[in-house]
């Protein structure tokens, strides 16, 4: 049942956002249309010279918010189901079914990856404007988008402007990632230490389980540390981060 639930949730993760949002945002089923629309909306927003998003851009941001909110719900359920499946497989392994070790290890790794997917989607839901920017196309037919991206790179115009909004949103986007990763890093680090302490006791099967979980937790904590540091630096230097996001570096 848990395995079937994993399959259903993975399929839902891939298909549900488009299906649920089609009645209101059906045109965005086409990635090309979405990118073109985003390019024109970004140009309009930049040329407006004001910090306020125009109506067209607001629609796109709302769409991307709902898209990732749906994925947050599905990926959260997937994390729970994978964690339960991993626990069940490790328990089965301890009851002398040694060939379950590989399946239990793989499911544990998949659980960690699912948590990563959940984190990314929470970040995108919190700041959908920045999550949209990597979808900007290479340019529009008249080259207007390319000129606008050039102006962003040059830091024009100065003062209260669309640039102020973009820099603030990029900083918030990265602070959110740092705020999520930092406590998770401490939690996985403590879990790893606990697993390593427990591996010196018990039978060989229990030692293998605790050693494996200790290694996975330690690697996860290390990765979360890197993400925390990288996100903090990006939040402190939003101009550089913005250029990287829009491909205008």
CA distance 130 to 169: 7
Q: Which H or E run contains 102? A: helix 100-126
- Confidence band of 168 (pLDDT split at 50, 70, 90): very high
pLDDT at 95: 82
Worst-scoring range by mean pLDDT, 105-109, 120-124, 206-210, 217-221? 206-210
pLDDT at position 202 over 60: yes
Q: Which tops the pLDDT comparison, 51 or 58?
A: 58
Is residue 223's pLDDT more than 60? yes
CA atoms within 13 A on the CB side of 146: 6
pLDDT for the residue numbered 141? 47
Return the higher-pLDDT residue of 47 and 72: 72
- 164-203 burial, b at 16+ Cβ within 10 Å, e below that, comes to ebbbebbbbbbbbbbebbbebbeebbebbeebbebbeeee
What pTM was computed for the model? 0.91
pLDDT of 50: 81
Banded pLDDT at 248 (limits 50, 70, 90)? low
Is residue 15 over pLDDT 60?
yes
How far apart are the C-alpha atoms of 201 and 204, rounded to whole Å? Answer: 9
Q: Output the pLDDT for position 233.
A: 96
Band the pLDDT of 9: cuts 50, 70, 90: very high
pLDDT in tens, 88-147: 999 988 886 777 899 999 999 999 999 999 999 999 999 999 999 999 886 554 578 888
- Residues 141 and 21: their CA atoms lie apart, in Å, by 28
Predicted confidence (pLDDT) at residue 148 exceeds the cutoff of 70:
yes
């Amino acid at each position: 049942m848990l395995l079937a639930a994993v399959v259903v949730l993975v399929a839902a993760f891939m298909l549900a956002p488009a299906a649920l949002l089609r009645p209101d945002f059906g045109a965005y089923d086409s990635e090309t249309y979405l990118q073109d629309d985003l390019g024109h909306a970004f140009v309009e927003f930049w040329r407006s010279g004001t910090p306020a998003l125009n109506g067209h851009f607001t629609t796109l941001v709302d769409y991307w918010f709902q898209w990732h909110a749906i994925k947050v719900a599905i990926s959260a359920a997937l994390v729970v189901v994978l964690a339960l499946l991993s626990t069940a497989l490790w328990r089965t392994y301890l009851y002398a079914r040694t060939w379950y070790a590989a399946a239990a290890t793989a499911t544990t790794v998949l659980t960690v990856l699912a948590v990563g997917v959940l984190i990314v989607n929470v970040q995108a839901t919190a700041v959908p404007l920045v999550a949209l920017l990597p979808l900007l196309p290479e340019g529009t037919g008249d080259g207007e988008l390319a000129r606008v991206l050039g102006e962003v790179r040059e830091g024009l115009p100065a003062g209260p402007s669309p640039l102020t909004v973009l820099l603030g949103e990029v900083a918030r986007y990265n602070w959110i990632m740092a705020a999520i990763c930092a406590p998770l890093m401490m939690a996985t680090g403590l879990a790893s230490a606990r697993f390593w302490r427990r591996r010196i006791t018990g039978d060989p099967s229990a030692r293998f389980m605790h050693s494996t979980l200790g290694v996975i937790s330690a690697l996860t904590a290390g990765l979360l540390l890197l993400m925390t540091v990288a996100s903090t630096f990006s939040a402190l230097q939003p101009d550089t981060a913005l250029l990287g996001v829009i491909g205008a570096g």
